[in-house]
Structure formats: C-alpha cells, structure tokens
Copies of this chain bind each other. A is one copy, B any other.
C-alpha cells in the first residue's frame, strides 16, 4: 500500500507512486512504459495525465491537492480536506448521475490524491462554447444532472435510497464568500478592472445601495441555506463535453448549500458566452448566440420538469411520505407548495447567476470567453453589457416565471 506520509507528486516520482497502488496494477501491465504529463488544471491543485506507451494506451488522470492554493503558493495555506470533499461529492454524483461522472479508480486522504478516468479526449465546455461547437445533448444532460443531484440530496427525498453525506466545507465556502460575494463589490485590492472600463459602469454596481443590498441578500442565501448537496463551482470550466457525453468534474467546493447556486453558476457562464458571441465578428456567432439563449431557457424548464417529476415519483411511492404530509384530499396544497418552491429556486438562480457574472468582470478571476478580446476598449464594451444585464437580472429576479421572460425583456428588447 501507499505510504501514509504526504509528499508532493511530480512528473519524476509519480510512476513510482502509482506502482504502489493496487488498482493501478490492474490497469497498467508495465509501469516502465508509462509517460507522464503535468497539466494545468485550474488554480488549486496539481494534475497529471499518465498514459501507457504500449498498444492498449490505458491512461489515468491523477489529481493531488497541496496544503495551499497552487497558483498562489505556500503563503496561501488551504486545508487538504478539499480532496476528501471532492471524493465524497464525486461518489454521490456517480450514484445519482452515473453516466456524467468520471470513473473513480482510487483515492487516498493521506496523500490527498484522486486517480480517475482520463477525459482528455473531451473539451472543457468553456472552450467548446468559445469554438461554437454544436452540443445537442447538453441541455438534456445538464438538466438531468441538476435535477438528480439536487433532488436526491434535498429534504424532499427523505427515506430515499441515496443518503449523501451532509457535507460542510467551511474553508472552501469562505473562499466563495470572499471572492464571489464580497471582494468584487468593494474596493478590494485583489480586484482587477479593465483600464478601459468606465468608472461609472463600475460604480453602477459597487456604489448603488440597492444593488449592494441585493448582493447582500444573495450572500446571506449562500451562507445560510442548506438545501441540497451542491457542486459549488459549476461554471463551464467544471464541465467536459463532446458531442455525445457530458462529464461534471472538480466538485471540491461541494457542500449542503442553496440549490440555485449550481443552476445559477452554469447559466451565468452561458450568458457570458452569449454576450461574447454577440461581440464576435464571425458569421456563425449570431446564430450560435441565439441558440445559447434558447439553451438557457430549455435548461431551466427541463430542470423544473425533471425535479418535479422525481419529487412526484418519490411521493407516490407507498414507502414514502410527502414533505408536507398527507394532503387529506387537498391536493392543491402540494401543487401550490411546489409552485412556490420552484419560484423561490428560480429567483435564487437568477440572483446567483447575476453575482457570478459581475464577479467575473470586477473580481480577480476572469474567464476566457471575455479575455479572448485582447483590445481593452473592445472588451470594455462587452464587460459593460454583461454588467448591465446582470444588474437587471439581479434586481428583477422576483418578477420572472422562467428565463424566456427575462430574455425577452432584458436582452431581446435591448437588441432592437
């Protein structure tokens, strides 16, 4: 078995390490024929692809969590427990969404290592969107992932066969609270503004008391709602795709949190790509942008339908009791309650999506959809448009019944 003392894996020592893992002996018949490539997988962790040079071409993806934030170095300590969280969250999502979860070959808390399926034949969804790839199954896959992971870990699924860990993940939640909900909206030193972005555009977010209060409401929702086991960082860089498959990776921010945060994170990144497409001169970008608005609307509607269907199915099972109890003939109470619940989740989804979009413009962590525009002035126009839309979505989030009305009022009207 592997040693229990932690040490940092490198391209040089990783094969020796893998040879001590029994599961790897099943996969690789010749450790001397392995080639290793370190990959830049996000800001937090070390990652390697290890591949057999023999004709079977077996390969694995190895991820190791250092006791600090990788890109910031040892001066930014961060508990290695996030790897245990990731493992538990991956295990849960594999139960309720097996076809969208990378195979897990091995994990070790002492080394903070996970070895999993190599998905290097897939693209990060962010890059697929930037390249305007056709992804005909994405809406169906993502709405299923969201409905299944969020329903089965909610209080509505009580008595169900899936019993996810009631994960808390304080260190990672504090990072989100700071970098998503706080720093971007105050004059924090980590913020990073495009020098061509007008001060009055920045002020329309940071210095508008109504906007700041609404952002406070979303931060409080994030800090206090434990509705379901959420991924916690479901942007388009946590999703890998090809035409047929969709995989969800990197749930190291997972915790019992607000349902709308996962849906909102995903949708926010689709909107960011939408606005980027509208700024692109490519002839196909206009129709791709239109398809993204339709994708957003479909993801929400299919999520709603699938979540409600799981709920109904749960309640109809003779072994289960409904969340609000026996209806005593007043079935209306159940449908009214479900409608109220979905309205609440929609409002949260829009609120979280808005905050996530704003922080990508004002805060330290940028996205390629926007940064691909190297000209500051050109990019500032895109950024101002994203901020304006996000602001409107945040402030009107309680007035919409779905994303069609939001898009019709705050995007398509403005296009005219």
**Nearest CB to that of A228 among chain B residues?**
B224
Known: A187-B328, A324-B219, A326-B187. A213 touches B155 (CB 8 A): no
Residue interface bits A318-348, CB-to-B below 8 A is 1, else 0? 0001011111111011001100110000000
Assembled-state Cα–Cα distance A212/B332 (Å): 9
* Interchain CA distance A94-B225 in the complex, whole Å: 27
- Cα A325 to Cα B219 in complex, Å, equals 11
Of residues 207 through 228 on chain A, the ones whose CB sits less than 8 Å from some CB of chain B are 207-210, 212-213, 215-217, 219-220, 223-227
- Taken residue by residue from 177 to 221, chain A's Cβ proximity to chain B (1 for < 8 Å, 0 otherwise) reads as 000001101111000000000000000001111101101110110
Instruction: Name A42-87 residues within 8 Å CB distance of B.
Output: none
Q: Report the minimum CB–CB distance from A106 to chain B (whole Å).
A: 30
Q: A185 is contacted by which of B166, B210, B325 (Cβ under 8 Å)?
A: B325
Q: Mark A99-133 against chain B: 1 for CB-CB distance below 8 A, else 0.
A: 00000000000000000000000000000000000
A212 surroundings in chain B (CB, below 8 A): 324-325, 327, 330, 333, 337
Query: Distance (Å) between the CB of A99 and the closest chain B CB?
Result: 29
Q: Give Cα distance in the complex from A210 to B324, angstroms.
A: 12
Contact B186 A328 (CB under 8 A): yes
- A207 engages B329 (CB within 8 Å): yes
Decide: A330 near B208, CB < 8 A? Known: A213-B337, A336-B213. Answer: yes
Question: Are B170 and A168 in touch, CB under 8 angstroms?
Answer: no
Q: Check B186–A341 contact: CB distance below 8 A.
A: no
Please measure, in the bound complex, the distance between the C-alpha atom of A326 and the C-alpha atom of B206, giving whole angstroms: 10
Task: Indicate if the CB atoms of B209 and A336 lie closer than 8 Å.
Answer: yes
Q: Could you say which of B155, B321, B326 contacts A224, with CB atoms under 8 Å apart?
A: B155
Interfacial chain B residues near A182, Cβ < 8 Å: 321, 324-325
Count A-side interface residues using an 8 Å CB cutoff: 42
Instruction: Decide: A224 near B223, CB < 8 A? Known: A186-B328, A330-B209.
Output: no
Residues on the B chain within 8 Å of A226, using CB: 224-226
A324: chain B residues at CB < 8 Å are: 182, 185, 212-213, 215-216, 219
Q: A166 is contacted by which of B170, B208, B217 (Cβ under 8 Å)?
A: B170
Chain B neighbourhood of A219, CB < 8 A: 323-324
Q: Which residues between 242 and 288 of chain A lie within 8 Å of chain B, taking CB atoms?
A: none
In whole angstroms, what is the CA distance A142 to B166 when docked? 32
- B333–A216 touching, CB < 8 Å: yes
Q: How far is the CA of A297 from the CA of B381 in the complex (A)?
A: 53
CB distance from A398 to the nearest CB of B (A): 13
Residue of B nearest to A341 (CB): B220
Which chain B positions have C-beta within 8 A of A155?
220, 223-224
Contact A210 B336 (CB under 8 A): yes
Bound-state CA distance A330–B216 (Å) is 13
Contacts of A341 in B (CB 8 A): 220
Closest residue of chain B to A256, judged by CB?
B226
| 23 residue pairs A–B, Cβ–Cβ below 8 Å | A155-B224, A166-B168, A182-B321, A185-B324, A186-B325, A187-B326, A187-B328, A188-B326, A207-B329, A209-B333, A209-B336, A212-B324, A212-B333, A212-B337, A213-B324, A213-B333, A213-B336, A213-B337, A215-B324, A216-B337, A217-B340, A219-B323, A224-B226
Beyond A183-B325, A185-B324, A209-B332, 9 additional pairs, beta carbon < 8 A: A155-B224, A186-B326, A207-B328, A213-B324, A213-B340, A216-B337, A217-B340, A219-B323, A224-B226
Cβ-closest 10 pairs across A and B: A212-B333, A186-B326, A186-B325, A216-B324, A209-B332, A209-B333, A216-B337, A155-B223, A213-B336, A182-B325
A interface residues, Cβ below 8 angstroms from B: 155, 166, 168, 170, 182-183, 185-188, 206-210, 212-213, 215-217, 219-220, 223-227, 321, 323-330, 332-333, 336-337, 340-341
